[in-house]
Chains A and B, each alone.
Chain A
């Protein structure tokens, strides 16, 4: 066990914060608005969807201080140890000039009612530090997690594209004083495990995987929290009692990304954003899906490990990971075991995970050369929406053009992410031609009896799932069979 501390430390704008008393389930937004009376960040939905509460959180990543947009409404204050939190109040002073991003928004009439505006400015600020001259698509991506009901976004996009005209990046405090801030943040990251409070209010922020294993074994009823993109809602919407809470986002051992010819291994704490690069390199067909997981804030917060561990039937990553034959490493104390991801999901709300056992990493084997892979997410709204269905397809053809192997998995079609084994069987050994596809379609009804809900009817789900196989076949034979957003 590493050394422990009873103080949670972070920097809020310019101020050092040290908390020795803290409710584990207090959200950052409540901390800002209720405790600190910083009223610039707004609560629009309290579920990480509208982005009105967007702040930037700077974390040390590979020696760099990286600022990412975060939904303060579902981020727990307890997740901020060793970070620099930047709110809208930090961008300009009441008696001073506006920040270039703010000025661009004013010049382009980017605010109307103004309630979403601080969050939009923060998302654009995060973008501006990465890319002061974003393309429209880049700007749209940065705004995937920000809802505006007034403007129709057109003036906001115009503002985003013109940000660089209103000031120099080098003059921005977060840029100009990055090294000094990095040093300040580094002193906060002292390698100690944070432990605050007792009983159900207890918060543990382990500094190592060993500490986590020990803490979880000692508190098997604790809730493990990483990005809180789901657990946050257990608090803000369902007011559930989840304590004690173990926040696992500060564990370098769980932040690893290993890439080899055999495939990749992602530590359970790796966020979607952190994994974007390696996923794009190793599995290019997954890029489209990856950039449609939540909004940018959710991708910055949420983790692949969490997406798997919580066992949702509509998680975005399990279908492609199952198609790719991924496995997870589960750990309890010092015991490790590996489970095929497809075997991990047992039934709705039930996974192959024992009390005190946690997901340590996920390993995704590389796609052998020549195999075809695609993943299609179908939603009511293109971005930041939960799948009506999400299908991943992988086939390998032999030299004769017959299907040598097939792995197909869907989310949204059953109580768990699930393989389409009857469809796979119907394809196996057959030539990869339209007739084979058509003949295989009835097998979908064998594999899946989807439900009707507010996202889609059972009828639509089944039909669209079948059509996605048609799409996959068309695309693998060089046809255009899906929409691609193109912006000049």
Chain B
């Protein structure tokens, strides 16, 4: 492992580095791609539905489930008392996340019991009939309330520090302080959470789940049932979207389904209604960034001191690593001579916030972009100038606040390239001229960069396995630890495998992710799916290939050096042997045609306590330039144009990567503009369905939307095919729209006042910003 430089494809005729459609595309467009709810249902299958807390924080005084139990079609009820193992599914083993609440509820919507019905409709209707009496306790819903109540943390905070921050602030020519409010985000995967558990012999259970992390489902179900991991098998063919929302949030549903299946001896399916999915499952963390920055008149930052407070919800879940990653990205692409970043993963009586594409990184980056913007307004300059003044150097000024040296910096070239291709400077002049002439409509334009660290910061997660079989007919069975949620992981790994065996892609048979085939997998997350799993598959292929090469040399009696792979087979001396024939020959001669591959990311290490290390294998870069128009009477706006340039190294599949960039960018724009989560004073989420929570539509996409991959980029590290990760970084670029909106708002006061728009920048926030500008307020 790790000994191959995969820069060049094995075969030039293969489809590596080419745009190949998603492996499931034809099935998806025909409605024949199966999701868990589409699978044939085992005979006698029951449906589970959760009964939820009606209070954000309360003691449970009494529970009367008689009306539930006697509802027609109900066959049983499960509560915490029915759990043979632990009543806990904390993914970080903090024992703070019960399957079912027992004596106390800590958020509105927390599961208390589960109804089993012959139909989903019966179970769902019955679940509403519980009579539960509560004794209310005081609750805190948001960051400020949590801090006011003492600022309880759900997990250990982190600090990153480099340089002398106090001295840096003191000697800087200017200082400014500010606060940035960044909202949360609901994943809104189109397929809501779902699990189907089928009981097996003894303590066995087979689960079909929509999850990014089959191994964790296995671990959690094992824990709840009190059985070894080996008894649990999790099968996962595809998700209808994940975005981080199915990294840990499927655990509850899987645990309930498995528990019910073992209790009843029947298969059990659980699928919450969309509104319940919104209410029960965690979201992207909202953040309050409190910062002080010292800078000089040339715009160069001298020191930054910032606190990143996050609404974590009622339990730790992934809030530790999420807030860590915010700190890891509070530099974005900028070098700070001195910096101190502190995280505050705050307890709130809300759903436990969780992973979401970017995993805290985007919030860290937005902190950085906001103080850059503030400096620009204070100095009366284009924020892009301030950005350039602070970019990491290539040979110097390249140490991050976590003491890793940036060795692959391409941000200068990315930004230069995009500045040219988007005609940024001319368009900025045109925007300024437009604003001079127009009273009601105002425009803004902004170009913002991203540098995103690639690797799990928990180093042990950076490992992957694969299982590859070559059958006698030359067909190849591919199984690896990564999960497919639409991102095109499977097709990329299949391309790598086809290339490794020098066969047409059609030889490779993609199969469901299964904990029985590849054990101890990591979540498909942190943009790392391809980096890790394609390498593991490549390692498996390499083992089989070497055996096939040796076999070919032996039976065709040539030197091993005279055996080489050609498209469709192998050439041994003068003899060309088609792949299928070679496979048959290997079998006849008792050559093993199966291998387990493994990969672990090299170079990385991290010491959280000291805040030092090399947590990221490499960085992915990108930039976007967005132009907007706002209506200063209503705050309504539109994005007129966006140009995005993304560094994906040497793309394994440009079409798939473009899809990730386009989709990630729009998802980021949605997060920061129209996607508003509103909890009311009673701790109840009021935006719990698409009717109230507004993700982008086709008509929100910029009419001019130019998305490019930086074709000149090659990963400096020998990652698979010299490609780079692509899942998360483009999401951050949605911020360019926020800054463009800010400029349009600032135009009302001739760009003299910092616009300071809280996010999401809804039309209301734009109008209120305009009003502040009109009143001459700082915000």
Which residues of A line the B interface, CB within 8 A?
Answer: 33, 39-47, 49-50, 52, 87-89, 91-92, 94, 98, 102-103, 105-107, 109-118, 121, 136, 139-141, 143-144, 146-157, 236-237, 239, 376, 378-386, 388, 453-457, 459-460, 463-464, 467-468, 470-471, 474, 479-483, 485-488
Report yes or no: B699 in contact with A140, Cβ–Cβ below 8 A. Answer: yes
Contact A468/B634 with A102-B30, A114-B486, A144-B698 known, Cβ cut-off 8 Å: yes
Q: What is the distance, in angstroms, from A95's C-beta to the closest C-beta of chain B?
A: 11
A interface SS class: loop
Residues of B within 8 A of A116 (CB): 190, 240
Report yes or no: A114 in contact with B636, Cβ–Cβ below 8 A. Answer: no
In the assembled complex, B26 has its CB within 8 A of some CB on chain A: yes
Report yes or no: A113 in contact with B687, Cβ–Cβ below 8 A. Answer: no
- Which are the 7 A-B pairs with shortest beta-carbon distances? A40-B31, A115-B240, A113-B486, A114-B28, A152-B666, A112-B486, A88-B31
Contact A47/B274 with A42-B191, A463-B767 known, Cβ cut-off 8 Å: yes
Report yes or no: B190 in contact with A152, Cβ–Cβ below 8 A. Answer: no
Within 529-574 of B, Cβ neighbours of A (below 8 Å) are at none
Contact A153/B696 with A464-B633, A467-B633 known, Cβ cut-off 8 Å: yes
Among A91, A118, A140, A380, point to the contact of B698 (Cβ < 8 A).
A140
Residues of B within 8 A of A467 (CB): 633-634, 767
CA distance in complex: A159, B330 (Å): 39
Report yes or no: B686 in contact with A111, Cβ–Cβ below 8 A. Answer: no
B190 (CB) vs chain A CBs: closest residue: A115
CA distance in complex: A454, B676 (Å): 8
Report yes or no: B240 in contact with A49, Cβ–Cβ below 8 A. Answer: no
A43 (CB) vs chain B CBs: closest residue: B37
B273 (CB) vs chain A CBs: closest residue: A46
Contact A113/B633 with A152-B666, A474-B440 known, Cβ cut-off 8 Å: no
CA distance in complex: A454, B24 (Å): 38
Report yes or no: A91 in contact with B30, Cβ–Cβ below 8 A. Answer: yes
Q: What is the distance, in angstroms, from A100's C-beta to the closest C-beta of chain B?
A: 11
Report yes or no: B691 in contact with A386, Cβ–Cβ below 8 A. Answer: yes
Among B485, B633, B666, point to the contact of A468 (Cβ < 8 A).
B633
Contact A139/B698 with A47-B691, A154-B705 known, Cβ cut-off 8 Å: yes
Report yes or no: A109 in contact with B656, Cβ–Cβ below 8 A. Answer: yes
B interface SS class: loop
Q: What is the distance, in angstroms, from B374's C-beta to the closest C-beta of chain A?
A: 25
A-B contact pairs, 12 of them (CB 8 A): A44-B190, A45-B690, A49-B691, A50-B190, A106-B29, A109-B22, A112-B488, A237-B275, A237-B689, A376-B634, A459-B768, A460-B767
Within 425-452 of B, Cβ neighbours of A (below 8 Å) are at 438-441
Q: Which of B31, B637, B767 has the most CB of A within 10 A?
A: B31
Number of interface residues of B (CB under 8 A): 88
Q: What is the distance, in angstroms, from B446's C-beta to the closest C-beta of chain A?
A: 19
Which residues of B line the A interface, CB within 8 A?
Answer: 19, 21-22, 24-35, 37-38, 124-125, 128, 187-192, 238-243, 273-275, 438-441, 485-488, 629, 631, 633-638, 655-656, 658-659, 662-667, 674, 676, 678, 686-687, 689-692, 694-701, 703-705, 707, 762-764, 767-768, 771
CA distance in complex: A44, B37 (Å): 11
CA distance in complex: A42, B192 (Å): 11
Q: What is the distance, in angstroms, from A124's C-beta to the closest C-beta of chain B?
A: 10
Report yes or no: B240 in contact with A113, Cβ–Cβ below 8 A. Answer: yes
A143 (CB) vs chain B CBs: closest residue: B698
Residues of A within 8 A of B25 (CB): 105-106, 109, 111, 114
Report yes or no: B697 in contact with A39, Cβ–Cβ below 8 A. Answer: no
Residues of B within 8 A of A105 (CB): 25, 29
Report yes or no: A115 in contact with B689, Cβ–Cβ below 8 A. Answer: no
Residues of B within 8 A of A89 (CB): 31
Report yes or no: B634 in contact with A150, Cβ–Cβ below 8 A. Answer: no
Report yes or no: B655 in contact with A237, Cβ–Cβ below 8 A. Answer: no
Among B31, B124, B635, point to the contact of A464 (Cβ < 8 A).
B635
Q: What is the distance, in angstroms, from A193's C-beta to the closest C-beta of chain B?
A: 28
Residues of A within 8 A of B28 (CB): 111, 114, 117-118
A91 (CB) vs chain B CBs: closest residue: B30
Report yes or no: A113 in contact with B665, Cβ–Cβ below 8 A. Answer: no
Report yes or no: B697 in contact with A151, Cβ–Cβ below 8 A. Answer: no
Report yes or no: A45 in contact with B486, Cβ–Cβ below 8 A. Answer: no
Residues of A within 8 A of B629 (CB): 483
CA distance in complex: A318, B485 (Å): 43
Q: What is the distance, in angstroms, from A96's C-beta to the closest C-beta of chain B?
A: 10
Residues of A within 8 A of B486 (CB): 111-114, 150
CA distance in complex: A486, B639 (Å): 11
B487 (CB) vs chain A CBs: closest residue: A112
Q: What is the distance, in angstroms, from B482's C-beta to the closest C-beta of chain A?
A: 15
Report yes or no: B690 in contact with A239, Cβ–Cβ below 8 A. Answer: no
Report yes or no: A113 in contact with B239, Cβ–Cβ below 8 A. Answer: yes
Q: What is the distance, in angstroms, from A207's C-beta to the closest C-beta of chain B?
A: 30
CA distance in complex: A486, B191 (Å): 33
Among B22, B273, B665, B686, point to the contact of A112 (Cβ < 8 A).
B22
CA distance in complex: A458, B602 (Å): 56
